[in-house]
Chains A and B, each alone.
Chain A
Amino acid sequence: MHSFGYRANALLTLAITLLALMCAMASFSDNINSPSPSAHVQVLNINWFQKQPNGNDEVSMTMNISADLQSLFTWNTKQVFVFLAAEYETPKNSLNQISLWDGIIPSKEHAKFWIHTSNKYRFIDQGRNLRGKEFNLTMHWHVMPKTGKMSEDKIVMPGYRLPEEYR
């Protein structure tokens, strides 16, 4: 009952159990945080808006994106992955979500930002539905913990509209 094997086994089991418990507690502490984020996007310019050779609409735009996500960070936060998606409906699709820009926020200091950028990823429709299309710009964020459960949320900013004609 007191051999090395038994003792090593008991020690290892205890260690793993304690580590798992600490991880669960760390993850649980994230629930206590009540965040109050804010975001704002301004579409400055539609750079171009064309019908591709394969028949799908594509648009390129320049935007000012600003947000304050500092309140999302806790001691157990490793990073926050933030992205801006254009969301709209078409006759064929009840939902289209296209990520236009994304970034990784490594710490609380970087979580309040303002950037001026054109869309990082191509905004291409499945079809030719974008002329005059009303769309939402939704800022999504995923909080990745140092250990435990990931969480996500978003702010929907409605009221954007694409031009009636290609240009």
Chain B
Amino acid sequence: MAWILMKALTLGMIIGSALIIWKALMCMSGSESPVVVVVSGSMEPAFKRGDILFLYMSKDPIRAGHILVFNVDGRDIPLVHRVIEVHERQDTGEVDILTKGDSNLLDDRVLYAQDQLWLQRHHIMGRAIGFLPYAGWVTIILTEKPIIKYVLIGALGLLMII
């Protein structure tokens, strides 16, 4: 009985420390998503599919050239593209932003929601400030071949019991 509790405690501590690390990263970066994986090739050759991007969110002004991770209404996966146009209001400091993937021919207006011409601050999850190549492939494989996810969890579960 004590043996089962020990195993459960070990598992709980592993999950707990992973959560603590993730939440700490969220605090440091100021973003809900401090690390994202690049899933499309629209920013090649700068970022390839499978690279990891480190994000940082601050109150600093958004300027042309920044690489932003943002959500579009109606899409569940965030996009990682570069700002090519900025219009900042005199009085409020609010901005209208237009983005484009480096290797796309057209700007992102075709990707925004219907009738949406610009992005605003509240769409932005963070700004990419650094990256690590290839480190995100694990996530892509787990997402696109979910069977591997179940196999891994099953194996982990087995290891705990044995």
Task: Give residues in A with beta carbon < 8 Å to B.
Answer: 23, 27, 78-79, 81, 83, 85, 91-99, 102, 104, 106, 121, 126, 140, 142, 144, 146-150, 152
Q: A148-B130, A150-B130 are in contact. Are A94 and B85 (CB under 8 A)?
A: no
Task: Give residues in B with beta carbon < 8 Å to A.
Answer: 45-46, 63-65, 67, 82, 84-90, 93, 96, 102, 107, 128-133
- Which of B86, B93, B129 makes the CB contact (< 8 A) with A150? B129
Q: Can you list the 3 inter-chain pairs with the closest CB atoms, starting with the nearest?
A: A99-B84, A97-B64, A97-B86
Q: A78-B45, A81-B102, A142-B65 are in contact. Are A149 and B88 (CB under 8 A)?
A: no
Q: Which residues of B contact A83 (CB under 8 A)?
A: 64-65, 84
- Specify the main secondary structure of chain B where it touches its partner: strand
B84 and chain A: residue at smallest CB distance: A99
Question: Could you tell me the distance in whole angstroms from the C-beta of B81 to the nearest C-beta in chain A?
Answer: 12
CB <8 Å contact, A121 and B131: no
Q: A27-B130, A144-B46, A150-B131 are in contact. Are A96 and B86 (CB under 8 A)?
A: yes
CB <8 Å contact, A93 and B88: yes
CB <8 Å contact, A126 and B96: yes
Q: Which residues of B contact A91 (CB under 8 A)?
A: 90
Q: Compute how far the CA of A165 lies from the CA of B85 in the bound complex, rounded to whole angstroms.
A: 24
CB <8 Å contact, A121 and B107: yes
CB <8 Å contact, A81 and B96: no
Q: Compute how far the CA of A149 lies from the CA of B102 in the bound complex, rounded to whole angstroms.
A: 19
CB <8 Å contact, B65 and A149: no
Q: Which residues of A contact B131 (CB under 8 A)?
A: 147-148, 150
Q: Which residues of B contact A94 (CB under 8 A)?
A: 88-90, 93
Q: A149-B129, A150-B128, A150-B129 are in contact. Are A99 and B88 (CB under 8 A)?
A: no
CB <8 Å contact, A96 and B87: yes
Question: Could you tell me the distance in whole angstroms from the C-beta of A164 to the nearest C-beta in chain B?
Answer: 23
Q: Which residues of A contact B133 (CB under 8 A)?
A: 146-147
CB <8 Å contact, B46 and A140: no
Question: Could you tell me the distance in whole angstroms from the C-beta of B109 to the nearest C-beta in chain A?
Answer: 11
A96 and chain B: residue at smallest CB distance: B87
Q: Compute how far the CA of A96 lies from the CA of B82 in the bound complex, rounded to whole angstroms.
A: 16
Residue of A81, A83, A99 with most partner-chain B CB within 10 A: A99
Q: Which residues of A contact B129 (CB under 8 A)?
A: 149-150
Q: Which residues of A contact B86 (CB under 8 A)?
A: 95-97
Q: List 8 A-B contacts (CB under 8 A).
A: A94-B90, A96-B88, A104-B45, A142-B67, A144-B46, A146-B133, A147-B131, A150-B129
Q: Which residues of A contact B96 (CB under 8 A)?
A: 126
